[in-house]
Amino acid sequence: MINQEKARKLWERTKREKFAVGAFNIDNQETLIAIARAARAKNSPVLVELSQGEVDLIGLANTRDLVDNYKAEYGIEMYINLDHCPSVEQARAGIDQGFEFIHIDVSQANHNATDEEIIAATREVVAYAGKTGALVESEPHYFGGSSNVHQENIDYEEIKKTFSTPEGAKVFVEATGIDTFAAAIGNLHGRYPIPKQLDIELLKRTRAAIRCAISLHGGSDTPAHFFKEAVQVGISKVNINSDMRYAFRTELENQLRDHPDEYAVVKLEPPVIEAVQKVVEEHIDMFGSANKAQL
């Protein structure tokens, strides 16, 4: 399919030209509009992504239609990523809907999944993705945190137990045939009271061990210099969710407080969309993808 072919060319460009594409979660149509406007303002390729909770609310087919509509309206390079897909069956459904990127994450649904189970499910999705040419992403470990605002500090000694290893990455990529490896180098889902710290040296060793693309989940609330260093090492995708949710809710609360008598919600939404758009644009700049769009 044409979109999948373009997505593969984009992935090759990220490695060759040293930039990463932001994968931005949508909770609703407003966040999708914010992403689309940011992509147009920065002339950047973007991935719109949704996990199972958003899938349950919006629907796979509805997401495909909405993204295609805004892509045409704004004249932008935009793709869909099915993020943290918990089962082979649901991954297949995303592939059937024409999603260009599929992240199969068996360990997210079952923290006790064995290596054999994860590899088998991932291989099955990779094989099925040949139907459309969708790019498949996975990892051999449970990835911690949650896309929320956390009050607790990060226990890095505990988190390090789930860090990727170059050897493990190589074995997993060769066993599954995935297009993108989700690396764990200190990135963590959610926002925390202290900034995240990425192990760039570990990323370098992982990059040297595998040929496929590398993604970083849990990119929210990470100092920009880590992303700039990671891009130079060679990553293709960074996932952002919590920063957008924080901006959305914070600005919505401001609007509700400042306009207590306004019940036409549509009149409260423009500043909320602008706040989320600002977050997306800031991350596009961090990832070096501005002016990289190719229509």
Return the active site residues.
Answer: 83
Whether 103 has a binding-site annotation, put simply, is no
Q: What angle do CA 21, 72, 213 make, to 5 degrees?
A: 20
Whether 84 has a binding-site annotation, put simply, is yes
> Which is nearest to 193 in space by CA: 246, 150, 226?
150
Tell me the pairing of strands 78-85 and 101-104.
parallel
Q: Which residue has the tokens 């593969």?
A: 8
> What is the C-alpha separation between 60 and 40, in angstroms, rounded?
24
Give the Å distances, CA to CA, from 286 to 40, 80, 230.
Answer: 16, 21, 10
Whether 167 has a binding-site annotation, put simply, is no
Tell me the pairing of strands 101-104 and 145-149.
unpaired
* Contact between residue 32 and residue 66 where contact means Cβ atoms under 8 Å apart: yes
Burial of 263 (0-12, 13-18, 19+ CB in 10 A): exposed
Query: Could you say which DSSP state residue 274 is in?
Result: H
Q: What are phi and psi of 81, to 5 degrees?
A: -120, 125
Whether 189 has a binding-site annotation, put simply, is yes
* Contact between residue 85 and residue 129 where contact means Cβ atoms under 8 Å apart: no
Whether 150 has a binding-site annotation, put simply, is no
> What is the C-alpha separation between 147 and 60, in angstroms, rounded?
20
Q: Which residues are annotated as a binding site?
A: 84, 105, 139, 189, 217
Q: Which residues are annotated as a binding site for Zn(2+)?
A: 84, 105, 139, 189, 217
